[in-house]
Amino acid sequence: MELPVTDPARSSPSTPSRSAVAPQGAARLTPSLAAQLRHTARCVLAVEQGRSLSDVMPQVNAELRPGVQALTFHVLRHLGTARALVGKLVQRKPEPAVMALLSSAVALLLDGPSAVAADGMPVTQPVGPHYEPHTVVNQAVDAARQDRSTQRQAAFVNACLRRFLRERKALLHSVAQLPVARWNHPVWWIERLQRDHPEHWAAILEANNQPGPMTLRVNRRKTTRARYQQALQAVGVASTPVGSDGLVLDVPQPVERLPGFAQGHVSVQDAAAQMAAMLLLNGRAWAPTDRVLDACAAPGGKTAHLLERADLDLLALDVDERRCERVHDNLQRLGLQAEVRCADAARPAKWWDGRAFDAILLDAPCTASGIVRRHPDVRWLRRASDVDPLVAIQHTLLEALWPLLKPGGRLVYCTCSVFRAEGAHQVSAFLERHTDAVSRPSAGHLLPGLAAPLGEFNDNPPGEYDGFYYARIDKVQP
């Protein structure tokens, strides 16, 4: 499962101007921090009310959007700490719009070493925009005055933020024992990780609060990785190979600066997501007549990677018609062809023609708990009660698709989740139910914050990955 809003720290180096106001007489004014903070607070409030940034961010004015997105991502990575601190600054909880603005401003004031760690361990602060403290206070007050929902509380906002500057150290110490403030994740999420990954949970949470690197996938039908790395060097962009087709950029770049992007030479895709095609295709020769199903294909990154590596008779399904259009667009840019159909993979009677598949890729709907560093809103949108229904959907998809696989065929099951219920536990239960299913060496759980995969899929060199789970399951011959 891939989410469309991209981290500005990964896909674009643009961040808000450090100056509050553009120089007088400039031909094009830089949006003020006050204007960006006002819209950032609105985005944060929308997330707190259950709306995804994928829906909210496109509504922000295009001129403001890069700065607002950078600020919003930064705030969401600090939101647990910021909320707790605001709770100490007020006698009673303010109106939601005021709370969102205060939390956003406090998050910006947390730049630099944090004193939140109650255990004495250092806390790695998320990378983000930097402003002078008094600039943040003044611009937050201006933001309050500019918005009808907060303008009557501008003096209150000013008093709270100035008190935070005066009492910063004591206030940070006062929230240090709160897990949400320490880790910037909901308590249920922290507790689940502690159960699922008792040795690595802290590293996962720390990694989630950092932007992920920008990783490219080179289209081997258009160029080679070595040649493309040289093309990057020619425009001053350094990179490091990862996996079979990937390049991790030392510094994120806007896609417009990537050589040959419009011509389909390269795509943006995390190293963990690039493992899907390699795991599905490795170990046998493929022919154009081999039938492959990408069961939950949108936005098409894994579909495209399969076709870049092999000539296949590929059917890409997705239940969302608009997301199917994105699959079409991505394939067109890359010069690839597949049958793309809007259909529910869990209901084969509605779309399957009765011809069995040689291979199936099931990138199942999940909590997205493994890609939080790129989508920091996910942690605040998910609820503990979301996990079991998603596990049930994954179960249904596995049971619906398994009969469509030829004997001797292979199915790759993956989720962008670090929760074992959506990974190892799901696959173990499937193998127990199906005597004709056998597990093959796979990546297992990839965990952000760890230097290398923990599983058995050793063809991939060590590297930094988003959180994913991979299992390859073969159907034995009768």
What is the domain extent for residue 380?
Answer: 271-475
Model pLDDT for residues 68-116, shown as the tens digit of each residue: 999 999 999 999 999 999 999 999 999 999 999 999 999 999 964 444 4
Q: 388 in a domain, yes or no? A: yes
Q: 157 in a domain, yes or no? A: yes
Q: 93 in a domain, yes or no? A: yes
Q: For the whole prediction, is pTM greater than 0.85?
A: yes
Q: How far is CA 231 from CA 114, 172, 234, 393, 397, in A?
A: 40, 47, 5, 43, 42
> Cα(272)–Cα(269) distance, rounded to whole angstroms?
8
pLDDT category at 462 given cuts 50, 70, 90 is: low
Q: Are residues 312 and 459 in the same domain?
A: yes
- Which residues face 471 on adjacent strands? 413
Q: For 29, which DSSP code?
A: P
Domain end point (choices 178, 194, 213): 178
Domain end point (choices 138, 161, 178): 178
**In this predicted structure, what is the pLDDT of residue 128?**
60
Domain end point (choices 178, 196, 231): 178
Handedness of CA 13, 18, 21, 24 (dihedral sign): negative
Q: Are residues 282 and 430 in the same domain?
A: yes
Number of domains in the chain: 2
Q: CB of 465 within 8 A of CB of 451? A: no
Q: CB of 66 within 8 A of CB of 12? A: yes
For 316, the 3-state DSSP assignment is strand
Q: Are residues 25 and 134 in the same domain?
A: yes
**What CATH number is associated with residue 402?**
3.40.50.150
Beta strand 313-318 with 339-342: parallel, antiparallel or unpaired? parallel
Which residues form the catalytic set? 416
**What CATH number is associated with residue 158?**
1.10.940.10
> Cα(194)–Cα(198) distance, rounded to whole angstroms?
5
Beta strand 246-249 with 239-242: parallel, antiparallel or unpaired? antiparallel
Q: 61 in a domain, yes or no? A: yes
Q: 249 in a domain, yes or no? A: no
Structure tokens at 143: 């933001």
Q: 463 in a domain, yes or no? A: yes
Q: Are residues 174 and 59 in the same domain?
A: yes
Model pLDDT for residues 115-132, shown as the tens digit of each residue: 444 444 444 455 566 889
Q: Are residues 159 and 277 in the same domain?
A: no
Model pLDDT for residues 206-231, shown as the tens digit of each residue: 999 999 899 999 999 999 999 999 99
**In this predicted structure, what is the pLDDT of residue 26?**
38
Q: 73 in a domain, yes or no? A: yes
Q: 17 in a domain, yes or no? A: yes
